[in-house]
Amino acid sequence: MTDIGVAVLGVGVMGADHVERLATRITGARVAVIADPVRAQAEQVAGAVPGCRVVSDPLDAIADPEVHAVLIASPGAAHEKQLLACLEQRRPVLCEKPLTTDVATSLEVAVREAALGLRLVQVGFMRRFDDEYIALKALMDSGKLGLPLVLHCIHRNVSPPPGFDSSMVIRDSLVHEVDVTRFLFGEEIDSVEIITPAPNPAAPHGVLDPQIALLRTVSGRHVDVELFVSAGVGYEVRAELVAQHGSAMIGLDSGTVSPRTLRNWGSRVTPGFRERFAAAYDTELQRWVDAVRAGADTGDYTDGPGAWDGYAAAAVCAAGVESLHSGGPVRVQLADRPSRLGR
């Protein structure tokens, strides 16, 4: 099969990264079309990719005859319409999180895909493609540590972008630990509680930061997550599994356990998520392209988290936002999984 043509919708920071990745490191695909509301940005990014065209309307990009698959990196509010168009055109699609911006529309996407009897939608939860998370999952599944019991997680950023509010700590940051929890334990999350310690004086005005999230799975496993988006040091993502016969930790940049402060760690901590998960993004896109190329024969066009995973993450985060406002634990409300939905 010749290289598949990919349409990239949205070429901000993440979309531009993916264009460069597809053009220089991923085999079996080429960027055929770019669509972005900022025409000058789209033309600048497209100019570095031989044969790449710019179109104004993302729906035209999805329907373009040169396009075999779509990568959505547009703002979340645009995702629902673009995803439904991909399903209508039977286009395999890799959508950066969130799947959509609310629970109801995320469920609608999952239901629409299930009705087709195809797996076309993949959600960009890149940690499932990170070597350390893969190794931790393999260790858990091997049974060497016995029964997994507790997962401790840390998710810290240097500072949040403009316009960040307290609920976005949950929807934009915790959402990754939500998917990691479901990936590692292989089960759904039953309840969420958000605790708000004394806020960091350096946090933007009105933003409750840090936050502590307590997740409980349906079988009773406990997960706690420290979310700190104005930490000022670097990008730190760690996880420690406590199990029946021992424990295991991932995410130690230096390979040691030491106090981290701006003064003695700032130059050694990963500066951002793009650097920390660069290899995971490469693996994610390469496996997606390979799955799309193979899907013509199998009807399964994804190799990662699908529409149901995006919906489940949205439902957990919605419960988390409710807990943020109520101050107590909130049960996660999940619909019945569509019977024709794939794995």
The predicted-structure confidence for 318-339, as pLDDT tens digits, reads as follows 999 999 999 999 999 999 998 7
DSSP letters spanning 323-335: HHHHSS-EE---P
What does the pLDDT read at residue 69?
98
pTM: 0.93
Q: How much of the chain, in percent, has pLDDT values that exceed 90?
A: 87
CATH architecture of 4-126+279-306: 3-Layer(aba) Sandwich (3.40)
What does the pLDDT read at residue 254?
46
Q: What does DSSP say about strands 29-35 and 53-55: parallel, antiparallel, or unpaired?
A: parallel
Three-class SS state of 60: helix
CA nearest neighbour of 68 among 23, 4, 129 = 4
What does the pLDDT read at residue 98?
96
What does the pLDDT read at residue 262?
45
What does the pLDDT read at residue 113?
96
Q: What is the pLDDT of residues 4-24, one digit of tens each?
A: 999 999 999 999 999 999 999
Provide the CATH number for the domain formed by 131-276 in this structure.
3.30.360.10
Q: Tell me whether the CATH fold assigned to 4-126+279-306 matches the one assigned to 131-276.
A: no
What does the pLDDT read at residue 268?
58
**CA-angle at 322, arms to 320 and 324, nearest 5°:** 70
What is the residue extent of each domain of the chain?
A: 4-126+279-306, 131-276
Q: What is the pLDDT of residues 204-242, one digit of tens each?
A: 999 999 999 999 999 999 999 999 999 998 899 999 999
Q: What is the pLDDT of residues 78-117, one digit of tens each?
A: 999 999 999 999 999 999 999 999 999 999 999 999 999 9
Q: What is the pLDDT of residues 178-196, one digit of tens each?
A: 999 999 999 999 999 999 9
Q: What is the pLDDT of residues 292-326, one digit of tens each?
A: 999 977 778 998 999 999 999 999 999 999 999 99
pLDDT score of 58 more than 90:
yes
Question: How confident is residue 342, by pLDDT bands cut at 50, 70 and 90?
Answer: very low
For residue 335, give every residue at least 6 positions away whose Cβ sits within 8 Å of its Cβ, in sequence order, or none. 107, 311
Three-class SS state of 20: helix
Question: How confident is residue 167, by pLDDT bands cut at 50, 70 and 90?
Answer: very high
What does the pLDDT read at residue 340?
60
Question: How confident is residue 343, by pLDDT bands cut at 50, 70 and 90?
Answer: very low
- On whether the CB atoms of residues 218 and 316 are closer than 8 A, the answer is no
Distance CA 192, CA 331 (A): 7
Q: What is the pLDDT of residues 237-284, one digit of tens each?
A: 999 999 999 999 999 864 433 333 444 444 456 778 878 889 999 999
